[in-house]
Structure 1
Amino acid sequence: MLTELLTGWIAHQRWFAGKGRPIDALAVDSDLELAPGLRHLIVSVRQGETRDRYQLLLGCRQEIPDRLTHAQIGYADGQGFYDAAHDADLTGTLLEAMAAGRDLGPLRFRHLEGAGIDTSQRSLVLGAEQSNTSLVYGDAYICKLFRRLIPGVNPELEITNALALRKAAHIAQPYGWIETDLDGEPTTLAMTQEFLSNANDGWALALASVRDLYNSPERSASDAGGDFSAESFRLGTATAEVHREMAAAFPTGVMEAAEVKSLMEDQRRRLARAVEEVPELAARAHVAEEAYQRVVDVAHAVPVQRVHGDYHLGQVMRTPTDWIILDFEGEPGQPLAERRALSSPLRDVAGMLRSFDYAARHLLADHPEAGDLHAQAVEWAELNRSSFLAGYSAGGGRLRGEDAVLLRALELSKAVYEVVYEARNRPSWLPVPLAAFDA
């Protein structure tokens, strides 16, 4: 009966990856009691040829109180079941087990050496996430539960722990994690970090600057009250410093010229598929083709290392004193091996440059004066892009003359991805990435 309840419930969760496809079967692979009324489940969901595993904190009560009805799964055999991630009376168990370094059945609760954890904090679920669930404990910690489980150590845990051990700046302090073995591999179930209660999201700060400019269109981007370029410079410096720390903490390598050419061939194939799906890209595809060809023509060995992999303004937070970089797990939809693979740090630089373009242009999508504001959008993006690059160079990031060709190709590769995404999900935003091919 519980499996039937879970089958009907899981399909409607925002973190469920198989939306829109029928569930053929759901099975409970693991069911462990963590505390009275709290169970940890790993369930397998089969949809056609696809089998995905998810974790769930299952709460069990005879009667589900009103405060938890939004998390209700259903009643069976005289018991009420609900998503216990929302039950602050139970989630303290996670902090306590991490602080103590306990093993509970197949689950291993661990903490970073020397990191003390205040187990008196009560939790609250953040409501904005799509693929994970985060519990904020007081104003001290944030614990991210990785709902869809991929065998292996999550790159975010791997990278933040390694950087913390080096006492690197610009990261949120990690405290603990939960792991188990899946398919014979240690697999990350959750991780707990410092909660930045007094920080502001980089995307929100950038948008505030853009709105200020659009409200005073007679001013230049550098004169408007919301000038963001100094912050862009600081963010560039922080990015370079984190890249340097990652290169010191993990192995590095070199992508030979032949591998660079192969990478461009792969980008050409992705471009062709994008053109097939989004006809509006066809007239602009030659811009990307030419950029890829320039990389081939001047191909040389490129240094590679561990990188962020999904870098944009939504992944950074501004505290009163510093920029902090978050979410080192890479693109969640990509295979774990690809997210952990060495890459050029220019990939992260390209991602942030695209994010500045998005911040400047997406507000024009439905703006009645979009035509009149276009010049200001371009000016704001160019000012902050150049400030970020200047900061990146000042922070020791590699930006040599020959790197400009590869950076341009990586930017357009990112824009190709964005075109497909917007065509599928937000058609009114499609002009934003298409504009990258007009520059």
Structure 2
Amino acid sequence: MSPLKIDLPSQDKESQLFSSDAFLQKILPAYLPGCRWFTSKGKRIGACHLIHHFEISPAAYIVIVSINFADGSNEVYQLPLAIIRTNKVAELYDGPKAHLVLATGTSETNPFFLVDAIPLEEFRHALFQSMRDKRSQEDGLTFEGGKTLSADQSKITSIVPAIDSSNTAIIFNDRYFFKLFRKLDPGLNPDLELTRFLSEQSDFTHSPAYCGSFSVAATEDTNFINLGLMIGKVDNQGDAWAYFQELTEAFYTRLIQQDLATTAPPRYQVTTSYDDLATAIQNVLDRETYDRARLLGKRTGEMHLALAGGPDEDQDLAPEPFSESYREEVFAAAHRLLGRQFNELSYKVSGLPAEVKATADSVLLLRGLIEERLAAIKKQSGQLTVSRIHADYHLGQVLKTEDDYCIIDFEGEPLLSIPERRRKRPPFKDVAGMVRSFHYAAMGQLLLNDKYSTEQRRQLTNWGEWWFRQVRSSFLNGYMSVVEGASFVPTTNAGREDLLDFFVLEKAIYETAYELNSRPDWLPIPLKGMLFALQDNKGK
């Protein structure tokens, strides 16, 4: 789509463009649906309103707009925009960047271009310098720099990586990773809050260093909006999801090469060390998989201990009792989720392939048992505590470094409001999220990799379930080796299993509805996840 043509006020009044009808009612409705970070592409825009605009560098601005949709909903977005009068526009905004030109026109007979400001080096560097200087503007825009950034006075360099994301990324000095948030929610963003806390107020070293941020208003204000976050760039070898996909592929390849795919897996075994595993298990499960799963469990436990170490005087970070009323609330929410998702599954089960239908029928028959297992959370001890957690924890939120891990993205579940994302919860909810992610890693490899024949997929499914159980055990063993005795850990094995099973079931119930409507071929994964959680002895 060609950019719109408009007239611009005189140069000394150019920022008035952002409050004009041309910008709000013509340019934005035409531009936003084509942006990958605009989350409501399927909705019709009713009206746009200017909330703020802040000058960052000459003729370059941060513009915050409110979007009202025809269905009555509303969203707020941040747009970095610049008004440029240069013949370099063709050079800076050609090819794949052409869509970043919002409008063209004339001002005092001179041509101008309204563009996304991110490709402009001077705009990017002004953001960085403002964080380094901890600059506060009279218009309410506040920049903050972390300990690492304050000590860095090197020359500024920057690149814009090609990352498909709901935010915009900039890498500064090959040391700092900056996220400019596009869709905005009022309130303290948990990614900023927890990254800063872990980096500057705890001993946890396996999350990125907090380096800077910029926001509107003060942190404690109700209208506080975080606009951007900068963290230390983590040298990594990809995320843990890709890593465990490599490990599961190697696992299945060994089975095929050794003609073991058609045989029954060895008896599942729980140990605290790879060397204690039976020889039959070591022949198929490599040490790297076992040890790296256990290490991730340890890092998860260390993260939870750090997050549970918030100072008592900080009400937003200090742990609280897992009260009876809170346990009742958590159960009621899970029970409602179960009702909605199982009603939908019952309605659609007849249309599923025969093998998937058989598994779904088995799960539907166990609804009463699932309700009973969910209700066990109400019997948890009132001495347990809840604390801040990662809240969207899975293998994709962990970076693999050369010999360790780095846990990233503390933003929480994106579909929840900021207050819900900042709510204190049992850390076992994170643990359950990672357990489910390991299950998806095992079975997803068979579904995603076209190297396996239909017959091989069928033969390897039981082995995949076995791999999941062994890796789950290693992960949990590493986790418990760190958190044993913590205030958020039940004191009995039965209590731990009940708490973990609750959140595993809750997660699998949610996954069931998603797969039913989006990826029916994947539906057996959460269904079997529920069946496994319902077993009395996870070693069987």
Identity within the alignment, %: 28
Aligned partner of 1:171 among 203, 207, 226: 207
Check conservation: 2:61, 2:81, Cα contact below 8 A.
yes
Structure 2: distance between partners of 1:425 and 1:141: 36
Aligned partner of 2:135 among 94, 99, 102: 102
Deviation per CA, 1:117-149: give whole Å up to 9, x if none.
4451212134222x3222222421111111111
Secondary structure at the residue paired with 1:308?
coil
Structure 2 alignment gaps of length 5 or more:
1-21, 107-111, 266-280, 311-316, 350-359, 533-540
- Which residue in 1 is equivalent to 2:438? 356
Structure 1: distance between partners of 2:297 and 2:482: 7
Deviation per CA, 1:307-362: give whole Å up to 9, x if none.
11000001111222432111111101101111111110000000000000010111
Structure 1 alignment gaps of length 5 or more:
none
- Which residue in 2 is equivalent to 1:81? 114
Aligned partner of 1:198 among 226, 232, 236: 236
Matches for 1:362-373 after TM superposition, within 5 Å: 362-365=444-447, 367=452, 368=454, 369-373=456-460
Structure 2: distance between partners of 1:421 and 1:26: 32
Secondary structure at the residue paired with 1:82?
strand
Aligned partner of 1:307 among 386, 389, 406: 389
Aligned partner letter, 1:97: S
Q: Is residue 53 of structure 2 the alignment partner of residue 18 of structure 1?
A: no
Q: Aligned-residue CA RMSD in angstroms?
A: 2.3
Deviation per CA, 1:49-81: give whole Å up to 9, x if none.
211110011133345334434242432323322
| TM-score, normalised relative to structure 2 | 0.76
Check conservation: 1:92, 1:119, Cα contact below 8 A.
no
Structure 1: distance between partners of 2:121 and 2:373: 53
Aligned partner of 1:111 among 131, 145, 152: 145
Structure 2: distance between partners of 1:195 and 1:425: 34
Q: Is residue 487 of structure 2 the alignment partner of residue 382 of structure 1?
A: no
Structure 2: distance between partners of 1:19 and 1:276: 29
Distance 1:167 1:310, change over 3 A: same
- Which residue in 1 is equivalent to 2:525? 432
- Which residue in 1 is equivalent to 2:507? 414
Check conservation: 1:288, 1:413, Cα contact below 8 A.
no
Displacement of 1:418 in angstroms is: 1.5
Check conservation: 2:436, 2:507, Cα contact below 8 A.
yes
Matches for 1:46-85 after TM superposition, within 5 Å: 46-47=68-69, 48-62=71-85, 63=87, 64-69=89-94, 70=97, 71-78=99-106, 79-85=112-118
Matches for 1:201-280 after TM superposition, within 5 Å: 201-217=239-255, 218=258, 222=282, 223=284, 227-249=288-310, 250-278=317-345, 279-280=348-349
Q: Which shows bigger deviation, 345-354 or 99-108? A: 99-108
Structure 2: distance between partners of 1:31 and 1:372: 60
Check conservation: 2:203, 2:306, Cα contact below 8 A.
no
Displacement of 1:27 in angstroms is: 2.1
Secondary structure at the residue paired with 2:399?
strand
Displacement of 1:420 in angstroms is: 2.2
Displacement of 1:396 in angstroms is: 2.1
Structure 1: distance between partners of 2:442 and 2:228: 35
Q: Which shows bigger deviation, 221-230 or 262-271? A: 221-230
Distance 1:54 1:119, change over 3 A: farther
Aligned partner letter, 1:429: W
Structure 2: distance between partners of 1:370 and 1:5: 51
Q: Is residue 188 of structure 2 the alignment partner of residue 153 of structure 1?
A: yes
Deviation per CA, 1:214-247: give whole Å up to 9, x if none.
2222467753568412111111111111111111
Structure 1: distance between partners of 2:82 and 2:344: 44
Check conservation: 1:350, 1:414, Cα contact below 8 A.
yes
Check conservation: 1:212, 1:226, Cα contact below 8 A.
no
Secondary structure at the residue paired with 1:434?
helix
Q: Which shows bigger deviation, 303-312 or 247-256? A: 247-256
Secondary structure at the residue paired with 1:49?
coil
Q: Is residue 203 of structure 2 the alignment partner of residue 136 of structure 1?
A: no
Q: Which structure has the greater CA radius of gyration?
A: 2
Matches for 1:398-413 after TM superposition, within 5 Å: 398=489, 400-401=492-493, 402-413=495-506
Check conservation: 1:126, 1:133, Cα contact below 8 A.
no
Structure 2: distance between partners of 1:26 and 1:321: 49
Distance 1:376 1:83, change over 3 A: farther
Aligned partner letter, 1:333: L
Aligned partner letter, 1:56: L
Check conservation: 2:158, 2:174, Cα contact below 8 A.
no
Check conservation: 1:306, 1:340, Cα contact below 8 A.
yes
Structure 1: distance between partners of 2:480 and 2:295: 11
Secondary structure at the residue paired with 2:103?
strand
Check conservation: 2:158, 2:170, Cα contact below 8 A.
no
Matches for 1:318-357 after TM superposition, within 5 Å: 318-357=400-439
Distance 1:5 1:201, change over 3 A: same
Aligned partner letter, 2:228: A
- Which residue in 2 is equivalent to 1:28? 50
Q: Which shows bigger deviation, 245-254 or 66-75? A: 66-75
Structure 2: distance between partners of 1:396 and 1:109: 37
Distance 1:35 1:349, change over 3 A: same
Secondary structure at the residue paired with 2:458?
helix
Displacement of 1:29 in angstroms is: 1.9
Aligned partner letter, 2:328: K
Structure 2: distance between partners of 1:282 and 1:5: 52
Check conservation: 1:88, 1:124, Cα contact below 8 A.
no
- Which residue in 2 is equivalent to 1:124? 160
Deviation per CA, 1:176-222: give whole Å up to 9, x if none.
00010398432211110011133431111110001111222246775
| TM-score, normalised relative to structure 1 | 0.92
Displacement of 1:21 in angstroms is: 1.0
Aligned partner letter, 1:300: S
Check conservation: 2:57, 2:122, Cα contact below 8 A.
no
Distance 1:364 1:77, change over 3 A: same
Secondary structure at the residue paired with 1:103?
coil
Q: Which shows bigger deviation, 383-392 or 280-289? A: 280-289
Secondary structure at the residue paired with 1:11?
helix
Q: How many residues align?
A: 437
Check conservation: 1:260, 1:300, Cα contact below 8 A.
no
